[in-house]
Amino acid sequence: MKKIFFLWMTLGWLTAINAQWIEQNSGTTHYLNDVYCISEDTVVVVGNYGTILRTTNGGTQWNTISCPTTEHLNRVKFADAQTGYIAGEHDTLLKSTDAGQTWQSLNTGYNNNFTAVSCVSADTVYIGGFDELILKTTDGGLSWTTEHTGGWHHIKDIQMINDTLGYAVSDTAHGKIYKKSNANNQWHEIGNIESDFNALYMLSDQEGVFLNEFEFLKTLDGGNSFISITSPSFDTVVPCPYDIYATDMNQIWIVGYVCTISASNDSGRIVKYSLNNDPNTGYINQIEVAETNNYNVLHAITFYNNVGYVVGYGTIYKNTTGQNYFPGGGDVAEISKEIFSISPNPAKNQVFINLKDNKIQYPVQYHIVDLEGKELTPFMALQTGKPIDVSRLTKGIYLIQVQNQGQIYTQKLLIQK
C-alpha cells in the first residue's frame, strides 16, 4: 500500500478568524532561538544578542527583559513556576528565581558554548555544549561536575526524566543519541544511529521522538528500538528541521525552514504529523504543512496544554486550536494538486473534480468537510465529468477530500455567494 499523503494547505486569502498560527508583536528583529511556557499566559523567549522576551498575558504584549549579557542565548527551561535557566554562547548561563522577570549570570568554570539545558529540580540542572560536554549541578548552579565530554560534536538537546534517567543528542554527520540510565553519571550511546541530530522530546521515560536532518525517530521502549518516520520525502516536507515536539506519540510537530538559493526567499515551515501503528502506511495518517512564505526561519516550538508557541527570525506565533494554518501564508508544494483539481474554485452552485492521472484505480470517493472537521457529505463515488452540487453551502472555506486505495488527498474550496 502506498503511504498516505494528507496535506492541509495554507491560502493567502485565509482570514484571521480561521487562521491557527497567529503572529505576535515580538518587538525585535533578532533571531529567537527558544521558547518556554511557564503557563498558557506566562511565556519566556530567548534569542541572539542577549534577547529575552516575556509575556504574562498570552502574547498580547511582549516585554523586553534586561539581560546581563549580549551573547547569543540558545535554550531556556524552567524547573518550576519561579526558577529557570538559560544556556548561551561563551560560557553563558543565566538563572531566574522570579518567573523570568530578572536574570543573573552563573559561573560554570568552563569556557564553552552551551546549547542545551534541562531541569530536574530548581537545584539539579543539566547543561550541554560543544565537545559533547554535559555538566550537572545539584546546588542551583553554585558548582558543576562533568558527566560527559571528549567528542567533537555538540550536544544540541538534552532532556532529563529524573536525576538517573535522561537523553541527549549531538549534531554533525556523526552525531549520536545518548542515554543516562543509572546513578553512576554514565552516558552511553543508544540506537547505533549516526546523524546530524537537532532536537528530542520525551513524553515519558519510555516514549519520545528524536529529530535529525533526514528523519525523525520514534521510540516506545526507552531507546531499545526506533521507528524511522521519513515519508513522504522528508527532505522535501521538512528540508531544514530545527525542533520537534510531541503533543502525544501520534501527533508530532516539527519546525524549520525551506532553504533556497536566495536567502531572501527562505520561508519558515511548521509540519504536523499524525501517526498510526501501521507500517504499511509508513506509520502516517496525515501531514499538515504551514509555511510563512517569507524570510522567517523557525527555530523552536512548544505547547502548554492546547496552547502552542513557535519562535524564529524576529517572530513569535501562537496557536490555540491545534490546527496548522498561517494567516496570509502562501501555498506550499501541494501533493493533492498533482492528484486532482477543483473547478471552478471559488464556486457558487456546483464544482467538478477532475483526476489528473488516468492510471488511478477505481473506486474513487469524495466527501466535503468544514474547517472544524464536520462532515457535510459522506464519502460517495466520484463520477468524473459530472457536477457536484454545492449550492447549499454557505459562504466560506471548505475541504474536499478524495480517497483512492486508502489514500486521502485534500484541497480547499472557497464558496462565494
Q: Looking at residue 172, what is its pLDDT?
A: 84
Under a CB-based contact definition with an 8 Å cutoff, are residues 352 and 390 in contact? no
Q: Residue 150 pLDDT > 90, yes or no?
A: no
CA dist., res. 13 & res. 117, Å (int): 40
User: Distance (Å, rounded) from C-alpha 415 to C-alpha 331?
Assistant: 18
* Segments making up each domain of the chain, as ranges: 22-319, 340-415
- pLDDT digit string (tens) for 365-384? 898 987 666 788 888 899 88
Q: Where are the alpha helices (DSSP H) in 251-352?
A: none
Residue from 122, 36, 118, 117 nearest 80 by CA:
122
**pLDDT (0 to 100) of residue 3:** 29
Give residue 308's pLDDT band: very low, low, confident or very high (50, 70, 90).
Answer: very high
Which CATH number describes the domain made up of 22-319? 2.130.10.10
Integer CA distances (angstroms), 202 to 102, 207, 249, 273, 381, in order: 29, 6, 9, 16, 43
pLDDT at 184: 74
CA angle 76, 81, 86 (to 5 degrees): 15
Residue pair 208/252 in contact (Cβ under 8 Å)? The answer is no
How far is 228 from 215, CA to CA, in rounded Å? 7
Residue 65: what pLDDT? Answer: 98
Beta partners for 389? Answer: 350
Q: Using the predicted structure, report yes or no on whether residue 335 has a pLDDT greater than 70.
A: no
Q: Model pTM?
A: 0.77
* Torsion over CA: 53, 312, 35, 84 (sign): negative
Q: Is residue 10 over pLDDT 70?
A: no
> Cell match 510537530: residue?
253
State the cell numbers at 21: 498560527
> Which residue, among 266, 237, 264, has the nearest Cα to 252 in the 3D structure?
237
Per the structure block, which three cell numbers stand in for 401? 477530500
Answer whether residue 2 shows pLDDT above 70: no
Asked if 345 and 336 count as a contact pair (C-beta separation under 8 A), the reply is no
- Tell me the pLDDT band of 189, cut-offs 50, 70 and 90: very high
> What count of other Cβ atoms lies within 10 Å of the Cβ of residue 331?
14
Tally of CB atoms within 10 A around 124: 17
DSSP, collapsed to helix, strand or coil, labels residue 296 as coil
**pLDDT higher than threshold 70 for residue 317:** yes
Phi, psi of 131 (to 5 degrees): 60, 30
For the segment(s) 340-415, the CATH number from 2.60.40.10, 3.40.47.40, 3.40.640.10, 3.40.50.410 is 2.60.40.10
Cα–Cα distance, 387 to 348 (Å, whole number): 12
**For 18-50, what is each residue's pLDDT tens digit?**
347 888 999 999 999 999 999 999 999 999 999
The answer to whether the CB of 122 falls within 8 A of the CB of 77 is no
Lowest mean pLDDT among 81-85, 131-135, 205-209, 356-360: 356-360
Q: Span 151-173, mean pLDDT?
A: 93
CA 331/CA 323 separation, integer angstroms: 16
* pLDDT digit string, tens, across residues 235-287: 777 778 999 999 999 999 999 987 655 455 667 889 888 898 988 878 888 78
Residue 322: pLDDT band by 50, 70, 90 thresholds? confident
Rg of the chain (C-alpha set): 23
- Range of lowest pLDDT (280-284, 289-293, 340-344, 406-410): 406-410
Over 90: is that where the pLDDT of 403 sits? Answer: no
417 or 52: which carries more pLDDT confidence? 52
258 CB-near residues (< 8 Å, 6+ apart): 239, 240, 266, 267, 268, 269, 291
Task: Output the average pLDDT for the chain.
Answer: 86
Q: Are 73 and 50 in contact (CB under 8 A)?
A: yes
Q: With a cut of 80, say whether residue 149 has pLDDT above it.
A: yes
Q: Is 280 exposed, middle or buried (0-12, 13-18, 19+ CB in 10 A)?
A: exposed
* Between 144 and 234, residue with greater pLDDT: 144
Structural contact between residues 394 and 411, judged by C-beta atoms closer than 8 angstroms: no
How large a percentage of the chain has pLDDT more than 70? 86
